[in-house]
Structure 1
Amino acid sequence: MDENESLTVTLTLDNDEELECAVLTIFETEGQEYIALLPLDEEGESGDGDVFLYRFHQTDSDEPSLENIEDDDEYERAADKFDEWLDSLEYEDLEPDEAPDAD
């Protein structure tokens, strides 16, 4: 895969509509893996900025499996970890003279 090419997945929604999503990251918290997906429109652009979080499992056959997060506390833990990941990206994007002082 080209380094500029994004990894995407197609979700089938409850109403059988298919939704193409960019994979933002796969991350782990408390021993469980999660995936963050960004829905894309027909032109392959991100729409309203909503991000979907799912439980992520890689099976023995290398087929990924996604599960809804039903528990509110589990969702909050996953969302907090995703927010930490986003914050780390913003910090990495700062120019050296823009980095906050360590005082």
Structure 2
Amino acid sequence: MAEEKITPVTESEIDNIRVSLDLDDGSKVECKILTIFEAAGKEYIALLPLDADGKENPDGDVYLYRYAEDEKGIPSVEYIADADEYEAAADRFDELLDEAYYDSMDE
């Protein structure tokens, strides 16, 4: 399982929050937070992996993790091992993408 940490930011950097993932193979990847959302009563986070220059990946890959905050408000992310739970989170994320797309058409 990957070890995750959320990089602390100031209020002026809130739109540029990054999550650093330490992957099982020993590599690290920095990700941009796309959204935090709820599905089936749990919180999830959608992360967009960035390349070495901090630019969005051209493949459109997105990582989904379970999201939580402790009693002090410190956030954490956790790998979703259960296939059914992952599918529910992915389905909800797809719905959010569809909603955003249709909302942008109304503008």
Fold similarity call, TM over 0.5: yes
Q: Could you tell me which of 63, 69, 75 is aligned with 1:64?
A: 75
Query: Which of 1-10 and 23-32 deviates more?
Result: 1-10
Question: Normalized against structure 1, the TM-score is what?
Answer: 0.83
2:61 alignment partner in structure 1: 50
CA drift of 1:14 comes to: 1.1
With normalisation by structure 2, the TM-score equals 0.80
Once the two structures are superposed, the pairs formed by residues 1-20 of structure 1 within 5 Å of their partners are 1-2=11-12, 5-20=15-30
The structural deviation recorded for 1:5 is 3.4
Structure 2 unaligned regions, length at least 5: 1-10
Q: Which residue of 1 aligns with 2:85?
A: 74
Q: 2:96 aligns with which of 72, 85, 92?
A: 85
Structure 1 runs of 4+ aligned residues shifted over 3 Å read 1-5
CA RMSD of aligned residues (A): 1.8
Q: Which moved more, 1:25-34 or 1:61-70?
A: 61-70
How many residues are treated as equivalent by the alignment? 96
Select the residue among 16, 24, 33 that pairs with 2:43.
33
The amino acid that maps onto 1:55 is R
RCO (CA 8 Å, sep 6+): is it higher in 1 or 2? 2
1:20-53 Cα offsets, whole Å, 9 max, x none, are 0000000011110000000000221111211000
What is the deviation of 1:2?
Answer: 4.2
Larger Rg: 1 or 2? 1
